[in-house]
Structure 1
């Protein structure tokens, strides 16, 4: 078996273990889906009957195995409210991917620009300010950044809307409704990736071929772009790939703050309903996206590293 196939298999196994943990964790929450989704006035007998209909009278591992057996067919099961999980996530997940994709692109551009700016003057005031600010920003949770952005850019200045209104197609009604959620996700991850990129650029700047380029009298900008950045790219790509999982995880909190029509609202309602199939379905899709991104990052890193040999 090739190394690539082994990596794919390991990540698939890890995803399966994660899904089992999620399924069991939801089952251990107080109450159950039958009671959480019961209509007002339903009797205890009605709730008991719904519990049997939902299969909650069976062992949790048996229900998990039944749910897992449908994954190869693309069947994510049925929610506690009787709606197919695939139907619930099909409209929301593209919105989350849009949000996360824009945040990742902004993170990549800002991280490279700030780290490169700092690397041009190592040890100078720009380097100290960029590194210090990045350290402070990466410690901020996304929901704290989201609330601060709402206070400053919406409530105080009125420049941007504080909540997202979905259009007829289920997507945000206007582009400006994306600005605050994207910033709330990108700011902490920019801090994280600036630290990675700056440290990697500093390590690469000590390489003999870089020192030779400096001694040849090349300008700092040319040395950075032609000799330092290519060697640092594999580690920078790996850092950005890691941010994908953090962005999708942070999107849950950010979407709730901004009432964004993404997977976060679906997951929040699923947790309220103690809906294990729906929570597991969201986790499976998110985990699959993260796995694909990490595999692409691995391939990209190997290609970049191989090109320098």
Structure 2
């Protein structure tokens, strides 16, 4: 038995190593695509950040200073080889990218973490609630509502929240008010951005939780628990939910990327001082190091979450008889 456990552990370690290596390779390819895509956009960082009325000679000198007269693959190689040391490069406006991201990154983490936690809690609660009452009116209402919520893009939800909670009722400010440290002045300014991110993903994950629990309802051990006369809620939580975790974990991990993608729109609409606002400005400036740094941070976080989901799946499936 000990040898079997050691073999499973070694197999899992090799599988994790292969997954990490594959995703690191995908990350490098993604960053190379980012460099190439920005290079293909009209204009460049030198012209986008030049002073008004600056002549062609000044723009050319600035282009040389930024290294834009070098091939894109050389610039990418210099940037990617410095990345393991924590050097994210220098922005087109002469600021270290690490310093540029230091202030807004905690704000985005606070926004994304709160929206993620709300999504997980709401999806689990709604999914379990409807699974306990299959084919009832609650199940049908939640099913329709969750489908509609997932179909709404973040900017539509944001506009609706602005109309209802700000313009019509005046309960919340339309834009984020920041303090002297650059962070939101009060927690109430987080309410609408968090809801705008969480509503679509709650709809998506509620359907996943409900479907995963419905699949588990047909499992022999779950049917046996029902036949033993156990309460429905206990059967769901003790017998059905553990087997549903692989599907639920995958859905939640997928939501991480969607939440990060939605922050760009939500932070811009609510004037929230986060990474999304920095990224929008960097795209306008054709600032490749900043764009690549934001993509690298987001992709690393998504990779870690997906890896955790894979581990949950591997451990759950491996624990089944």
TM-score in same-fold range (> 0.5): yes
Q: What does residue 232 of structure 2 align with?
A: 220
SS state of the match for residue 89, structure 2?
coil
Give the TM-score normalised by structure 1.
0.97
Q: What does residue 259 of structure 1 align with?
A: 271
In the alignment, which of 270, 276, 284 is matched to residue 296 of structure 2?
A: 284
Tell me how far 1:234 sits from its aligned partner: 2.0
Tell me if 1:128 matches 2:164: no
SS state of the match for residue 294, structure 1?
helix
Tell me how far 1:307 sits from its aligned partner: 4.0
Deviates more, 1:292-301 or 1:20-29: 292-301
Q: 2:91·2:289 contact (CA, 8 Å) conserved in 1? A: yes
Tell me if 1:270 matches 2:248: no
Q: What does residue 36 of structure 2 align with?
A: 24
Tell me how far 1:94 sits from its aligned partner: 1.5
Tell me how far 1:308 sits from its aligned partner: 4.2
- Structure 1: state its 5+ residue gaps: none
Q: What does residue 24 of structure 2 align with?
A: 12
Q: 2:245·2:312 contact (CA, 8 Å) conserved in 1? A: no
Deviates more, 1:206-215 or 1:257-266: 206-215
Q: What does residue 168 of structure 1 align with?
A: 180
Give the TM-score normalised by structure 2.
0.94
Structure 1 residues 117 and 266: CA distance shift in structure 2, 3 A: same
| RMSD of equivalent CA atoms | 1.2
CA deviation vs aligned residue, 1:4-29 (integer Å, no higher than 9, x gap): 11100111111111111111111111
- Structure 2: state its 5+ residue gaps: 1-12
Distance in 2 (CA, whole Å) between partners of 1:36 and 1:57 is 15
Q: What does residue 55 of structure 2 align with?
A: 43
Distance in 1 (CA, whole Å) between partners of 2:219 and 2:147 is 26
Distance in 1 (CA, whole Å) between partners of 2:17 and 2:26 is 14
Aligned residues: 309
Q: What does residue 67 of structure 2 align with?
A: 55
Distance in 1 (CA, whole Å) between partners of 2:319 and 2:179 is 46
Superposed, 1:1-309 pairs within 5 Å as 2-309=14-321
